[in-house]
């Protein structure tokens, strides 16, 4: 599996530092709010798990499954909800926790959907931001790191459901997905 990675762009230690920084900032910003984390599975599950432990205040969590990639390295542009959240968002301070903000198609769809459910506030936290590929005008309120236009895997991010278990984020060799 390591042979499929061209380079590591965020080590396990760097990821821990990023999550700790984000957790402190979110704790401060939401100190007097009813924090409700909405996470997009499967990619954000590892980040979400670490982030919620780095947030020093009570918070609720909910999970959604949204897809626009399938077994590809590029978004299809067709966003579909596979699993929706199970609770109303009225009067909740919602923070969407995402693994990567890439084209913005999926996240833009999700934000529009959640805004229509009347949250008290709505913000976005993404581990990775790839602004060079943005096609929708959307940005995150909390960003772990900006990355170049490379296909990355690890720490929850996958290619064809593989590589999620890597403890770091690495650039996948093109020959792996060009098969």
Q: Is there a catalytic annotation at residue 102?
A: yes
pLDDT digits (tens, 9 = 90+) for 144-162: 999 999 999 999 999 999 9
Look at residue 92 and tell me if it is in a domain: yes
Other C-beta atoms closer than 10 Å to the C-beta of 117 total 14
Instruction: Note the pTM of the prediction, 2 decimals.
Output: 0.91
pLDDT of residue 4: 94
Residue 2 lies in a domain: no
Domains identified in the chain, total number = 1
Residue ranges making up the domain that contains 118:
13-152
- CB contact at 8 A, 103 and 135: yes
CATH of the domain at 61: 3.40.50.2020
Q: Please give the pLDDT value at position 67.
A: 72
In a domain, 160, yes or no: no
pLDDT in tens, 93-121: 999 999 999 999 989 999 999 999 999 99
Residue 139 lies in a domain: yes
From 50, 93, 99, 102, active-site residue? 102
């Amino acid at each position: 599996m390591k042979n499929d990675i061209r380079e590591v762009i965020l080590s396990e230690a760097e990821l821990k530092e990023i999550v700790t920084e984000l957790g402190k900032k979110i704790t401060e910003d939401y100190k007097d709010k009813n924090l409700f984390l909405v996470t997009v599975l499967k990619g954000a599950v590892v980040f979400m798990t670490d982030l919620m432990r780095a947030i020093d205040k009570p918070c609720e969590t909910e999970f959604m499954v949204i897809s626009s990639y399938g077994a590809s390295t590029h978004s299809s542009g067709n966003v579909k909800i596979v699993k929706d959240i199970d609770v109303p968002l009225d009067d909740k301070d919602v923070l969407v926790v995402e693994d990567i903000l890439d084209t913005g198609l999926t996240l833009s769809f999700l934000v529009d959907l959640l805004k229509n459910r009347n949250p008290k506030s709505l913000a976005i936290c993404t581990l990775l931001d790839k602004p060079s590929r943005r096609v929708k005008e959307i940005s995150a309120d909390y960003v772990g790191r900006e990355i170049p236009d490379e296909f990355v895997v690890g720490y929850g991010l996958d290619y064809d459901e593989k590589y999620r278990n890597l403890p770091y984020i690495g650039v996948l060799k093109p020959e792996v997905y060009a098969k």
